[in-house]
């Protein structure tokens, strides 16, 4: 059986993607391109914003401020709170740890409520509620 030659189609897509987009020369070329540094008047991430409608049906904003050292949360016309980036990162890490690790992405809470409802249904079957209606 002859030795197989190199076939680029056989290289898995992830290694091709990583080589193409994360190769040091590619990153250097990207950093030196004109598109990245068009706006040299401000720091990267400065004034990047996320505007969204909250569950209470009002517009809210999260944005980087103060040369991207702070994260501000609030309304479009008023800041509610401004965090230093380090403090905000601690809050995000705490939230991700609690949601992903401790709560299993919401599965633990879902199981707890299923067990609670199962236990309540079982309890209701054994102890019927007596009606006080005498009409």
Residue-wise pLDDT for 30-46, tens only, equals 666 655 555 556 677 77
Does residue 73 belong to any structural domain of this protein? Answer: yes
User: What is the total count of domains within the chain?
Assistant: 1
Does residue 4 belong to any structural domain of this protein? Answer: no
Half-sphere exposure at residue 85, Cβ-oriented, CA atoms within 13 angstroms: 10
Q: Which residues of 43-68 are buried (b: 16+ CB within 10 A; e: fewer)?
A: eeeeeeeeeeeeeeeeebbebbeeeb
Q: Are 89 and 95 in contact (CB under 8 A)?
A: no
Does residue 54 belong to any structural domain of this protein? Answer: yes
Q: If you search the block for the tokens 């992903």, which residue do you land on? A: 100
Does residue 21 belong to any structural domain of this protein? Answer: yes
Q: Domain range spanning residue 64? A: 10-36+45-110
Does residue 128 belong to any structural domain of this protein? Answer: no
Phi first, then psi, for residue 18 (nearest 5°) are: -65, -40
What is the per-residue pLDDT across 62-110, written as a single tens digit (0 to 9) for each?
Answer: 999 888 899 999 999 999 999 999 999 999 999 999 888 888 878 888 8
pTM score over 0.95: no
Does residue 87 belong to any structural domain of this protein? Answer: yes
Does residue 3 belong to any structural domain of this protein? Answer: no
């Amino acid at each position: 059986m002859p030795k197989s030659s190199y076939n680029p189609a056989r290289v898995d897509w992830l290694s091709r993607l990583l080589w193409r987009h994360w190769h040091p020369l590619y990153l250097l070329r990207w950093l030196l391109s004109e598109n990245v540094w068009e706006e040299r008047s401000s720091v990267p991430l400065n004034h990047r914003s996320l505007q969204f409608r909250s569950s209470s049906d009002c517009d809210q904003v999260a944005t980087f401020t103060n040369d991207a050292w702070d994260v501000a949360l609030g309304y479009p016309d008023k800041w509610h709170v401004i965090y230093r980036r380090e403090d905000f990162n601690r809050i995000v890490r705490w939230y991700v740890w609690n949601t992903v690790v401790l709560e299993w992405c919401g599965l633990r809470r879902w199981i707890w409520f299923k067990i609670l409802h199962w236990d309540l249904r079982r309890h209701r079957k054994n102890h019927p509620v007596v009606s006080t209606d005498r009409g």
